[in-house]
């Protein structure tokens, strides 16, 4: 007897990214109700399952969808407007422009562009910190894309959404209360940083996150100037401050973590705090290179992020995989971050960093059916002596042929299925208006 399935992906090599890195030659993945039923040899699964839909992946690689652990999706609206500046110069420009430009409508339009770019790049899931998260969430839901987002706290004059800090806790509580649990997601709160929130505010946001079992995400130690600013204001470096306030822990994910001491690395390891490594953004803003080899050596979970399309100009997470595998070798150790480790940071380790390792990041029975198919029949991917090496050092986002989220095709044979790409691009706000934005001195 055969068993029912919604989708059978079969015929290609399947890289599960499970604990042992299983690669199934001529493999298959069976899916029903958005969940992976089985992974194994194609011949076996074809005989076992009668699927409503099938996808022939002969000559391709099937692998988990990529997990972007730190981004600001609607920053696609400002791509190219704050280049070749420091982090502080970047913030001076962007925070001011956001107050002028952002609205739920503009955020939704910019997020659609970001989702289209991400789906084409094989990114099936992203952690998005930005204003008007409700608009982003609706847009992602309409497209069938897995977005992790929630209320953002940033105590600045004239916040883009017009909600003063004093009103944000009640607003965030209403948001969290209204959420329904869905497989492969969890509630999220964003505390922007220790330089835009005071210690009391950081503790208030963290307390709310703990009340709802939410992931708390914050920028920390992105560059030396940020560290010096926080230390001057509070007498402690950012990670030291978070530790002293009791915020470090398995439900905290730090973005960047570039400027760290050995004691801070030890504190992250001791508390189970995770890090989202954004190598492209860190290099472009001149922030430095995060001590990822030392973090990994201490046992810290490290995922990969693109950051926003203003600081990195791209949401190509495969590009971040390559950069992560290469940049840490600059110190003279070619083994500092290997190909397999870099790929894992964009898949299984990224899911772990979000606290969703039981649901996402690998192709295993019981996990959500988020997967991508890469066309390997390309000159730059031939020959293929090692699949991890191929992915980390040779593959490009343009090699992604199919993208599946929760068992549903978002891209099939390089055609987006849930977004009208031409309409998405036409719907962007009038970009000519951006040329009138004042650039801070």
The pLDDT assigned to 375 comes to: 98
Instruction: Indicate whether 90 and 185 sit together in one domain.
Output: yes
Instruction: Indicate whether 38 and 136 sit together in one domain.
Output: no
Q: Is the pLDDT of residue 433 over 80?
A: no
Instruction: Indicate whether 118 and 70 sit together in one domain.
Output: yes
Domain count, the chain: 2
The pLDDT assigned to 106 comes to: 95
State the CATH number of the domain containing residue 273.
Answer: 3.20.20.140
pLDDT in tens, 143-195: 999 999 999 999 988 899 999 999 999 999 999 999 988 999 999 999 999 99
C-alpha distance across the termini of the chain, in Å: 72
Instruction: Indicate whether 295 and 326 sit together in one domain.
Output: yes
The pLDDT assigned to 306 comes to: 98
Instruction: Indicate whether 93 and 182 sit together in one domain.
Output: yes
Q: Is the pLDDT of residue 331 over 60?
A: yes
Q: Kindly state the average pLDDT of the residues 290-315.
A: 97
Instruction: Indicate whether 156 and 304 sit together in one domain.
Output: yes
Q: CB-based contacts of 29: which residues, under 8 Å, 6+ apart?
A: 8, 9, 10, 14, 36, 38, 39, 45, 62, 363, 369, 371
Q: Kindly state the average pLDDT of the residues 197-211.
A: 98
Nearest residue to 153 via CA among 134, 175, 176, 169: 169
Instruction: Indicate whether 326 and 369 sit together in one domain.
Output: no
The pLDDT assigned to 434 comes to: 58
Q: Is the pLDDT of residue 441 over 60?
A: no
Q: What is the mean pLDDT of the chain?
A: 95
Q: Kindly state the average pLDDT of the residues 261-288.
A: 97
Residue numbers of the domain that contains 163: 66-353
The pLDDT assigned to 90 comes to: 82
Q: Is the pLDDT of residue 309 over 80?
A: yes
Q: Is the pLDDT of residue 435 over 60?
A: no
Instruction: Indicate whether 280 and 378 sit together in one domain.
Output: no
Q: SS3 letters for 94-129?
A: HHHHHHHHCCHHHHHHHHHHHHHHHHHCCEEEEEEC
As a whole-number percent, the residues of the chain with pLDDT over 90 amount to: 90
Instruction: Indicate whether 382 and 265 sit together in one domain.
Output: no
The pTM for the full model equals: 0.96
Give the least confident one: 152-161, 284-293, 371-380.
Answer: 152-161
Q: Kindly state the average pLDDT of the residues 408-421.
A: 98
Instruction: Indicate whether 147 and 43 sit together in one domain.
Output: no
> pLDDT confidence of 431, banded at 50, 70, 90?
low
Instruction: Indicate whether 52 and 161 sit together in one domain.
Output: no
> pLDDT confidence of 307, banded at 50, 70, 90?
very high
The pLDDT assigned to 80 comes to: 83
Buried b (16+ CB within 10 A) or exposed e, 50-87: ebeebbebeebbbbbbbbbbbbbbbbbbbbebbeebeb
Q: Is the pLDDT of residue 3 over 70?
A: yes
Q: Is the pLDDT of residue 418 over 90?
A: yes
Instruction: Indicate whether 76 and 31 sit together in one domain.
Output: no
pLDDT in tens, 45-82: 999 999 999 999 999 999 999 999 999 999 998 898 88
Q: Is the pLDDT of residue 223 over 90?
A: yes
196 occurs within a structural domain: yes
431 occurs within a structural domain: no
The pLDDT assigned to 181 comes to: 87
Task: Characterize the bridge pairing of strands 49-56 and 3-10.
Answer: parallel
Q: Is the pLDDT of residue 438 over 80?
A: no
Collapse the DSSP code of 364 into the 3-class scheme (helix H, G, I; strand E, B; otherwise coil) and give the result: coil
Q: Kindly state the average pLDDT of the residues 111-140.
A: 98
State the number of CA atoms in the 13 A half-sphere of 158 facing the CB: 8
Give the least confident one: 51-65, 355-369, 420-434.
Answer: 420-434
Query: How many angstroms separate the Cα of 120 from the Cα of each of 21, 115, 180, 398?
Result: 25, 8, 28, 7
**Cis before 383 (ω within 30):** yes
């Amino acid at each position: 007897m055969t068993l029912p399935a919604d989708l059978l992906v079969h015929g290609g090599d399947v890289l599960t990214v499970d604990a042992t890195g299983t690669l199934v030659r001529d493999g298959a993945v069976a899916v029903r109700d958005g969940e992976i039923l089985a992974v194994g040899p194609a011949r076996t699964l074809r005989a076992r399952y009668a699927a409503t839909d099938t996808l022939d992946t002969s000559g391709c690689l099937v692998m988990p969808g990529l997990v972007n652990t730190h981004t600001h999706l609607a920053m696609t609206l400002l791509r190219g407007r704050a280049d070749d500046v420091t982090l502080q110069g970047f913030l001076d420009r962007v925070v001011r422009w956001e107050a002028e430009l952002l609205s739920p409508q503009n955020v939704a339009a910019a997020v659609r562009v970001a989702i289209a770019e991400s789906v084409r790049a094989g990114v099936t899931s992203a952690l998005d910190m930005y204003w008007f998260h409700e608009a982003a969430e609706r847009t992602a839901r309409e497209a069938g894309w897995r977005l992790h987002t929630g209320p953002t706290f940033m105590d600045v004059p004239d916040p883009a959404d017009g909600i003063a800090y004093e009103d944000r806790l009640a607003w965030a509580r209403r948001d969290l209360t209204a959420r329904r649990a869905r497989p492969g997601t969890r509630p999220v709160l964003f505390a922007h940083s220790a330089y835009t929130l005071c210690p009391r505010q950081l503790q208030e946001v963290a307390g709310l996150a703990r009340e709802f079992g939410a992931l708390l995400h914050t920028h920390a130690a992105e560059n030396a100037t940020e560290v010096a600013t926080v230390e001057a204001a509070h007498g402690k470096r950012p990670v030291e401050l978070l530790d002293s306030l009791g915020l470090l822990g398995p439900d905290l994910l730090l973005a960047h973590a570039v400027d760290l001491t050995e004691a801070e690395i030890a504190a992250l390891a001791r508390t189970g705090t995770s890090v989202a490594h954004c190598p492209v953004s860190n290099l472009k803003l001149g922030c430095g290179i995060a001590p990822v080899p030392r973090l990994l050596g201490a046992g810290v979970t490290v995922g990969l992020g693109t950051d926003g399309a203003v600081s990195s100009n791209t949401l190509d997470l495969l590009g971040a995989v390559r950069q992560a595998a290469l940049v840490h070798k600059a110190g003279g150790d070619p083994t500092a971050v290997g190909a397999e480790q870099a790929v894992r940071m964009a898949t299984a380790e990224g899911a772990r960093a979000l606290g969703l390792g039981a649901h996402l990041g690998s192709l295993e029975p019981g996990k959500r059916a988020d997967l991508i198919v890469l066309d390997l029949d390309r000159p730059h991917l031939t020959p293929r002596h090692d699949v991890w090496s191929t992915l980390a050092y040779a593959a490009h986002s343009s090699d992604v042929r199919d993208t599946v989220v929760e068992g549903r095709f978002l891209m099939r044979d390089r055609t987006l299925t849930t977004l009208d790409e031409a309409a998405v691009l036409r719907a962007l706000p009038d970009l000519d208006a951006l040329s009138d934005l004042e650039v801070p001195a």
